[in-house]
Structure 1
Amino acid sequence: MRLSRLARGILGAVTGVILLVIYLPLMVVLVNSFSTSTSLVWPPPGLTLEWWGRAFQSEGALEAVLTSVQIALIATLVSLVLGTLISLALQRFAFFGREAVSLLVILPIALPGIITGIALNNAFRTILGVQLSIATVIVAHATFCIVTVFNNVIARLRRLGTSYEEASADLGAGLWTTFRLVTFPQLRSALLAGGLLAFALSFDEIIVTTFTAGAGVKTLPIWILDNLFRPSQAPIVNVIAVVLVLVSIVPIYIAQRIAGAEKVSR
């Protein structure tokens, strides 16, 4: 489809405005992380690297980073296992209620985070009688991280079909051997992309985490929220926010490159 010069100009202008609205606040945070002021002011009165040095020496921030990484890694691992198994069950087997199960698997990512958080908080504390801790945060994150893995894997399974697996079975391979030698190698890039997205989703999650974390559990987003309006902490919070953005961008970028490489290869 070819657009007129006027249409291209309007489309470019609208795109530019949308990108400006999205990314200008991020640029303000980036610049303020180098500000000499101890409060959130614009424009900054001067520039300094002092806050970056303090941020990487902050025990609270570093501990929060390690907690977020730990939770994200375990939640991603759980999501990879469960998301793959659910995808195989729903795509390779026919059974009563399959569509309903598929809807229930995807639903957590569509629900507002505050609803998910309240529901899980009630389930842990009143129904199961479980003390809120890192374990409850991991379970909570896995409920929506599974969806990213599930969507990637089931889309790949639909494109692959069953011909290779049927050929493997005809040659005498069992179910596990077929999965290990035939199915899994074809799913590796989808699993990697889904796992990276799940990690990014878990790493910067705050709403569900707030409702499911115990008193001593501080992830990086919660640390940022707690320190945002404390005296002299605003520049350090800006530094941590920039690091959080970079950490979130990397896995999403890699996942996008993987998807793009697969399109080109096909």
Structure 2
Amino acid sequence: MLRLSRGARIGLGTIVTVVLVFMYVPLLLVVLNSFNAARIASWPIRDFSLEWWGKAFASEPIRAALLNSVLVGLGATAVALVLGTLVAFALQRHSFFGKQSVSLLIVLPIALPGVVTGVALNNTYNQLLEPIGIQVGYFGMIIAHATFCIVMVFNNVFARLRRLSPNVEEASRDLGATPWQTFRLVTFPQFRSAFIAGGILAFALSFDEVVVTIFTAPAGVDTLPLWMMNQMARPNEASTVNVVATIVILFSLLPVWASQRLGREIGDRN
């Protein structure tokens, strides 16, 4: 075990404290300003009010943007769960020519800057597909989000599959189970936690995406992060944006907490 001197512990603790303060004080200011009675966010807060919360919940554009974020997130997650799991099985269970190249291509979208992905997909939709009569519309935004969400599922499932023993599956087949029965009753329960954790992370990643959405969203369609970004140019709407940001912060805690719980379950099983 690595033992640190008293001075090193104090120095390390100070650095961690400064980093945490730098990260979370701005979020706290957003939450506090959502209750600010002033129309423009300010500090210190002189009066508190729930006026902006009421306006946010009554706003039709906010509800529409939230619905779009949820639908796109669910669609991208569904695509990512299917394709990410299939690719994870293919790369972990089989050897074939170009295996490492396929692995690189799967992981690459998460490493590319969002603006590169957005521009590439925008050019594809507008310059290749539309001239031949294919209008991707809403579905194009889902596919755009799925390109990087697949990585979340793939990484989780692939890592779990590498730790599974093939003996249990072989025993199931020896006892007369069909491939589908073996998968449903033996294989899937063993990587289910990783599958769910990957899906949660994929949804959270899609829900928060801004850059790719800018380039691929159909005209007149806003997701919640895109709506927030557009409203920041209007100072009089800053208080309402703080309300929405506060709600997003609260709901963002859920997938993080769930993925950590699932991660601990995977660790305990190992």
TM-score normalised to structure 2 length: 0.95
Structure 1: tracts of 5 or more residues without a match: none
Contact conserved, 1:149 with 1:195, CA < 8 A, in 2?
Answer: yes
Rounded to whole Å, the distance in 1 between the matches of 2:126 and 2:165 is: 44
The yes-or-no answer on 1:133 pairing with 2:145 is no
2:220 corresponds to which of 210, 216, 220: 216
Q: Which amino acid aligns with 2:253?
A: I
Shift of 1:226: 1.3
Partner of 1:24: 25
Deviation at 1:261, TM superposition (A): 2.8
Corresponding pairs, count: 266
* Cα distance in 2 between the residues matched to 1:118 and 1:161: 43
Tell me whether 1:11 sits opposite 2:12 in the alignment. Answer: yes
Which residue in 2 is equivalent to 1:85? 86
Structure 1 position 171, deviation (Å): 2.7
Structure 2, unmatched stretches of 5+, are none
Report runs of 4+ in structure 1 exceeding 4 Å deviation.
Answer: none
Which of these residues, 244, 255, 259, is aligned with residue 255 of structure 1? 259
2:206 corresponds to which of 202, 205, 210:
202
Rounded to whole Å, the distance in 2 between the matches of 1:160 and 1:206 is 37
Q: Deviations over 1:106-144 (max 9, x none)?
A: 000010000010011111111222435221110000000
Aligned partners of 1:131 and 1:22: how far apart in 2? 42
Report the Cα offset of residue 37 of structure 1: 1.3
Asked if residue 95 in structure 1 is aligned to residue 114 in structure 2, the reply is no
**Map 1:116-127 → 2, pairs under 5 A:** 116-127=117-128
Question: Could you tell me whether the CA contact under 8 Å between 2:210 and 2:225 is conserved in 1?
Answer: yes
Deviation for aligned residue 1:181: 1.7
The SS at the match of 2:163 is helix
Q: Which moved more, 1:149-158 or 1:73-82?
A: 73-82
Give the alignment partner of residue 242 of structure 1, picking from 225, 246, 251.
Answer: 246
Confirm or deny that 1:225 pairs with 2:229: yes
- Looking at structure 1, the residues matched to 136 and 238 of structure 2 have their Cα atoms a distance apart, in angstroms, of 29
One-letter amino acid of the structure 1 residue matched with residue 76 of structure 2: A
Residues 152, 190 of structure 1: 8 Å contact kept: yes
Structure 1 window deviating more from structure 2 (168-177 vs 76-85): it is 168-177
Tell me the TM-score normalized by structure 1. Answer: 0.96
Cα distance in 2 for partners of 1:87, 1:262 equals 17
Does the CA-based 8 Å contact 2:129-2:135 persist in structure 1?
no
Q: Does 1:165 align with 2:169?
A: yes
Task: Calculate percent identity across the aligned residue pairs.
Answer: 55
Deviations 1:6-53 (A, max 9, x none): 111111000001111111111111111111111132222321111111
Taking the aligned partners of 1:100 and 1:256, their CA distance within structure 2 comes to 31
Contact 2:106 2:151 in 1 (8 A): yes
Per mean C-alpha deviation after superposition, the further-off stretch among 97-106 and 230-239 is: 230-239
Tell me whether 1:70 sits opposite 2:66 in the alignment.
no
Cα RMSD of the aligned pairs, angstroms, is 1.3
Counterpart of 2:110? 109
**Which amino acid counterpart does residue 172 of structure 1 have in structure 2?**
G
Q: Distance in 2 between matches of 1:248 and 1:62?
A: 17
Q: What letter corresponds to residue 91 of structure 1 in structure 2?
A: Q
1:189 is displaced (CA, Å) by: 0.7
Aligned 8 A contact 1:55 1:236 in 2: yes
Paired with 1:242 and 1:84, the residues of 2 have a C-alpha distance of: 33
